[in-house]
Structure 1
Amino acid sequence: METNKNWKDTSASTSVTDIIFDYLRYWKWFILSVAVFLIIGVAIILVTQKQYKSSLSILLNEDKGTSKGNAAAEFDLEALGLLSTTNNIENEVAILSSPDLMRSVVDTLNLQTVYYITQRLRKVELYNQTPFHVTLEPVDKKGIGNIQFYIQKNGTGYEISGTYEDLFASEEKKINEKYESLP
């Protein structure tokens, strides 16, 4: 019976240095792959838009008008279902999460309008540094959907182009206007 000479002897122990030297001959591929992935990582960082997470914490203090003995008695009566007390903290949370208050905050701070400027390879949101403010005339806002338009300065004038959704007609309409100065 012939022994195959292509098979390595597995009984001999291989050291770590032997394994390293086996892979060391591919050093060019390792360096090339690291360089390619670094370039891809930098490109992703430059292109993706920054995202911010906002958080809020509110401390609501409850009135301290009740004494401890009275609070225990109210708790016992409330547990029996004979007395229903309203909690001021629950009332305040309900007021803070009301849709009318949220709509008022959005309208007051003009948060329904977002301004972007193109810098390098990504769009950057302008929050308080906007060169102009867009306001809608007091019309039925429920009939207008998403509005996107672009303002570009051409010489002494401005070119405005974009689209908006007409919810009543269920179609998307185009905007293409030229102005000497912004209204």
Structure 2
Amino acid sequence: MIPAPTLHTARLTLRRPDARDWVAFRDFMLSPRGATFGITTEGRAFRQFAAELGHWDIYGHGMWTVTLSGSDAAIGLVGPWTPPDWPETEIGWMIYPASAEGKGYAFEAARAAVDHAYRILRWDTVVSYVAPDNTRSAALAIKLGAVLDASAATPDSCKGYQVFRHPRPDALDKGEAA
């Protein structure tokens, strides 16, 4: 297993996902809140979770399990996602329990992930693919400073999605746009 960095923010820990996170992931994916991802069976949820775990071993990076500092319970998954059929490098996010929404956790974790992608992974660009009806994710991308890029390509599985392009952290520090 490739060692993975653990990120810490003011309130969160972002750690490599593992088997203990399966139930929270499955329950989210099979809930109405997870419907955006199109996973409708436990088998498909399992295969997607296995892909999340394997992404780290294949690429040396991947989405982190998000926990509240001092807790090990998974409240979400946030971070780099770069399958071979993705046209660009993406930062994705999902927060599992509805009780964790509206508290800024997704913003805090995604901001750390975007920063890591640019500064540590040395990515030239970062996008987020957002389903057209996922207004909360679109609002989060905008809050993160990302701008809609109507000319950007989307993965085949994300046709019709919006593409938000994230600014480099140094541009955010200076108050510049992407």
TM range (shorter): under 0.3
TM-score by length of structure 2 reads 0.23
Q: TM-score, normalised by structure 1?
A: 0.22
Higher relative contact order (CA 8 A, sep 6+): 2
Which structure has the bigger radius of gyration? Answer: 1
